[in-house]
Amino acid sequence: MTMTEQRPEPTGEAPAATPGRRIATRRPQLRMPRLPQRAARAPRPSDDSLSVVSTAFTMVAIVCFWMLAQMLVLGDVSQARSQDLLYDEFRTQVASGTAPVGPIVPAGDPVALLTIPAIGLEQVVVEGTASGDTLAGPGHQRNTVLPGQEGAAVVAGRAATYGAPFGRLTELSPGDTITAVIAQGTTTFEVLDVRHTGDPFPQPRADGVARLTLVSAEGSGAFASLTPDEAVYVDAEATEAFPAPAGRPSAIPEPEAVMATDPGALPLLALLLALLLALTLAVIAARQRWSTALVWVVASPLAVALSWATTDEVMRLLPNVM
């Protein structure tokens, strides 16, 4: 008898799991709800912008502070140092017989030593009266004879800055003495009078007489010393004089006149300002890589040196007897 294979009819129930075999089940996917977007934050100033502003402000502060300090204080130190060097040079030249007697002397060279006991002044006089020349000391006007030679000599000096050697000229009185030492010897002058711009000139000089005129500036108001508005003159005479060589220039350049400025300082001043700007940009760039303290330790001496040189050029743009 043949046996037929019977297949089980489906019952709707899940088949029993076979041992060692897993049945894959599909898990439902969960969707996360969308969160509301946050409001955009207001942009904050970047560190680069703060670095630029702080560096620029610091550089401007250094330049302004140094300019004021040098004009009122440090300029005196610089002028005193220049006077020491000029005195040693002039003393050596007088002793060796090589001191100049004119008529043509290079600007800035020492030509005389002035002493005025009444105001405690002793200064080496340099050749030239431009603003750059009078930073070192009183300047001899180049179209006049040297102090003590026969003729009229003019010496201009600063009244308020860089040592203010002629700041007390108005304290002199008729009869006070002024001693001038030049290569040819020593001459003692007697003060005739103190006059201001617009006052009458002294009597004409007699033959064989040496006349000396000291020139400075005078102002008015709270800042009189820094705002000169007129010149002050001290006239003095000596009855004995040394011969003066011929060949002096008949006129002087405009920057060497009394109360004049020196526009020749503008090109160098522009260069120094450009260097200060370049240093500012270099500091800004360096602060992006190194610490601020380290950058300023390196940059500050350069900023001070450039500020010093800049102030000297600015002084040349101010009156030569200020």
Q: What is the pLDDT of residues 95-111, one digit of tens each?
A: 999 999 989 999 999 99
pLDDT value at residue 19: 53
Which of the 8 DSSP states describes residue 255? Answer: G
Domain presence at residue 309: no
What digits encode the pLDDT tens for the residues 135-168? 999 999 999 999 999 999 999 999 988 999 999 9
Provide the domain count of the chain.
Answer: 1
Residue 269: predicted pLDDT:
92
- Residue 201 inside a domain? The answer is yes
Q: Is residue 265 part of a domain?
A: no
Q: Is residue 186 part of a domain?
A: yes
Q: What angle do CA 53, 58, 64 make, to 5 degrees?
A: 125
% of the chain exceeding 90 in pLDDT: 53
* Domain coverage including residue 121: 110-256
Question: What confidence score (pLDDT) does residue 1 get?
Answer: 45
Q: What is the mean pLDDT of residues 163-174?
A: 94
Instruction: Report whether pLDDT(206) > 70.
Output: yes
Taking the C-alpha atoms of residue 264 and residue 267, their distance in angstroms, rounded to an integer, is 7
Angstrom distance (rounded) from CA 151 to CA 144: 8
Q: Is residue 8 part of a domain?
A: no
Q: In this structure, what CATH number is given to the domain that contains residue 125? A: 2.40.260.10
CA angle 228-232-234, nearest 5°? Answer: 155
183 is a domain residue: yes
Sign of CA dihedral 158, 163, 147, 100: negative
Q: Report if residue 240 sits inside a domain.
A: yes
* 152 occurs within a structural domain: yes
Q: What is the CA radius of gyration of the chain?
A: 41
3-state secondary structure of 90: helix
pLDDT in tens, 243-270: 999 999 988 999 999 999 999 999 999 9
What are the tokens at 158? Answer: 């600063």
Task: Rounding to the nearest 10 degrees, give the CA dihedral for residues 214, 225, 132, 190.
Answer: 10
